[in-house]
Amino acid sequence: MPTTVSTARYTREGGIGRLVLDRPPVNVLNLGTMEALQSALAEAAADSGLKVLAVSGVGRAFSAGVDIADHTADRVGRMLELFHDAVRQLMALEAPVVALVHGAALGGGCELALACDMILARDDLKLGQPEIQLAVFPPVAAALLPRLIGRQRALDLILTGRTIGAAEALRMGLVSRVFSAAEFDAGTDAALAEMASRSGPALRLAKRAVTDGEHLAFGPALERAEELYLNELMQLADAHEGIAAFMEKRPPVWKEPA
């Protein structure tokens, strides 16, 4: 079920949805592509069969960032509105979101990847926020990076504008796994399939537990997770099926809608 907009399209096969940036060669995000991105994200949000969403780009790179032409005084307000609304849509999705990143993820492309729940990277990854070189700064990264890697590392990347590779991004905790070029497609497909084999409602509740408790002290975070566990998770047939299947030494047969 592809969208009619070619520069950002959503499709789904089984429980795995794919949102693909398609503006080669490096998927520069102009205003039209941001509008297409919003439409694709709205499709994903409305898709009751979605278990996990993969975000990727065609061509040589994930995304080289927002079009510099859209930073001019007459366009910058609209650019920030469209891009930040797309990021909010992405972060509001109930299903887990995985960025599959190859090549450059710079500027707005880096911010888009950071807004996903996890990043699976190819070993040619080039990640960075070069905006300071143009005497501007990245608002999404300014809000997200300190939460992900701490204040000092966030400022290091934002104030220098330097680009880091896959190994350093992995050490910092910005990416979850790194694959060689030869292994990237098969490895990421396997990771997505593993998640999609789980109960969809359980995946969404597990994400909620992490998200809701992320910025709370341990005690309140644990209370919130316990509340979700007892009042929502244990009301699902899938939770009881999963436990029964384990005890009976058989594969589970999920009963809830995806």
164 and 243 belong to one structural domain: no
pLDDT of res. 107: 98
147 and 234 belong to one structural domain: no
27 and 137 belong to one structural domain: yes
96 and 218 belong to one structural domain: no
Question: What is the distance between the alpha carbons of residues 96 and 192, in angstroms, rounded to a whole number?
Answer: 10
Question: What is the distance between the alpha carbons of residues 68 and 61, in angstroms, rounded to a whole number?
Answer: 17
Low-confidence ranges of the chain (pLDDT < 50): 1-5
164 and 232 belong to one structural domain: no
Is there a contact between 132 and 159 (Cβ–Cβ < 8 Å)?
yes
- The reply to whether the predicted model has a pTM over 0.85 is yes
Is there a contact between 99 and 112 (Cβ–Cβ < 8 Å)?
yes
177 and 240 belong to one structural domain: no
pLDDT of res. 4: 45
At 23, which CATH number?
Answer: 3.90.226.10
Overall domain count for the chain: 2
- Quote the tokens at residue 9: 């399209």
Which of 105, 138, 116, 127 has its CA nearest to residue 53?
116
Last residue of a domain, one of 196, 220, 236: 196
- For residue 104, give its domain range: 8-196
119 and 37 belong to one structural domain: yes
Alpha carbons within 13 angstroms on the beta-carbon side of residue 139 total: 12
H-run or E-run covering 209: helix 200-213
DSSP 16: E
Contacts of 19 (CB under 8 A, 6+ apart): 8, 9, 10, 37, 40, 41, 44, 53, 54, 55, 56
61 and 123 belong to one structural domain: yes
Is there a contact between 98 and 54 (Cβ–Cβ < 8 Å)?
yes
257 occurs within a structural domain? no
132 and 234 belong to one structural domain: no
Within 10 angstroms of residue 74's Cβ, the number of other Cβ atoms is 7
